[in-house]
A = this chain, B = another copy of it.
Amino acid sequence: MTLLKPETDQVQARFPPKLGRKRDHTRDPKILDAALEVLAETGYDGMTIDMVASRAKAGKATLYRRWPSKAELVIDAVACMKKNMHGDEPLPDTGTLRGDLVAMIKPHSIEDSERKMQIMAGLMSMISQAPELADAANAAIMEPRAALNRQLMYRAVERGEISSACDIESIAMISPCMVTYRTLMLRKPVDREFLVSLIDGVILPSLGLSAKPSAS
């Protein structure tokens, strides 16, 4: 992204060959997926290009034909995570904020979260040296979840359930942050029980709601 070598590939892009085989771009996602897999398992520095190539059943040269370096491959893989995400299911609408937040706890979203945490751990060492990677990781891993929380909360404001004076921008980040900490540092499972206790013990109180609104 930053440093594109002015090499063969770019020249060929300007003067496309008239004959012969065209580049098979259907293999790109497979390679990027393999990169994310290896990244999650071994971390950036433990990851080798050969691992990614063999995992994707591709040749090492093929990878270097598409990305100028290991770093660029990883940045691209993380940046593409966002696009390649499974079609967002519609937001839950249970009528109460607590109901909505709890409804977002699904086995699928927990698995998805665990995988992302692994990837993030593998990236951290490189993040402090590549700001663009930090942005990509934030956009692909932390932001999507925070954005969902924000939407639910703003809807609760419109309903009059919570005050518009609440610091929703910050509060929406609580669960992503705490989940990250719990996974990476504490190495404890992020299960339904933990998430519910976060909702009832921290998030709802900070919005001025009691945990169990027995009446409406």
Chain A interface residues (CB < 8 Å from chain B): 43-46, 118, 121-122, 124-129, 131, 134, 137-138, 142, 166-167, 170-171, 173-174, 176-178, 180-181, 184-187, 197-198, 200-203, 205-208
Contact (Cβ within 8 A) B166 A205 = yes
Sorted nearest first, the 8 A-B pairs with minimum C-beta distance are A167-B201, A124-B124, A206-B206, A125-B125, A45-B45, A177-B177, A121-B128, A43-B125
Name the contact of A122 in the complex, choosing from B128, B137, B173 (C-beta under 8 A): B128
User: A177 and B170 in contact (CB under 8 A), knowing A121-B125, A125-B122, A205-B205?
Assistant: no
A201 and B122 in contact, given A134-B187, A137-B185 (Cβ under 8 angstroms): no
Assuming A174-B174, A177-B177, what are 5 further A-B pairs, CB within 8 angstroms? A43-B129, A124-B184, A125-B125, A166-B205, A167-B202
* Whole-angstrom distance between the Cβ of A193 and the nearest chain B Cβ: 13
Q: How far is the CA of A210 from the CA of B186 in the complex (A)?
A: 31
Name the residue on B nearest A183 (C-beta).
Answer: B128
On chain B, the residues within 8 Å of A138 by CB distance are 185-186
Query: Which residue of the partner chain B has the closest CB to A128?
Result: B121
Chain B: minimal CB distance from A153 (Å): 13
Residue of B nearest to A44 (CB): B125
- Chain B residue nearest to A168 (CB atoms) is B201
> Taking CB as reference atom, which chain B residue is nearest A203?
B206
Listed residue (A118, A122, A187) with the most chain B CB atoms within 10 angstroms of its CB = A187
Which residues on the B side are within 8 Å of A118 (C-beta)?
Answer: 128
Q: What are 15 inter-chain pairs, A to B, with CB distance below 8 A?
A: A44-B45, A45-B125, A121-B124, A121-B125, A124-B124, A137-B185, A138-B186, A142-B185, A167-B200, A170-B198, A174-B202, A177-B181, A205-B206, A205-B207, A205-B208
Query: Which of A43, A44, A46 counts the most chain B CB atoms within 10 A?
Result: A43
Q: Is the CB of A173 within 8 A of B181?
A: yes
Q: Report the separation of the CA atoms of residues A182 and B206 in the bound assembly, to the nearest whole angstrom.
A: 20
Q: Which residues does chain B contribute within 8 Å of A122, judged by CB atoms?
A: 125, 128
CA distance A173 to B187 in the complex (A): 15
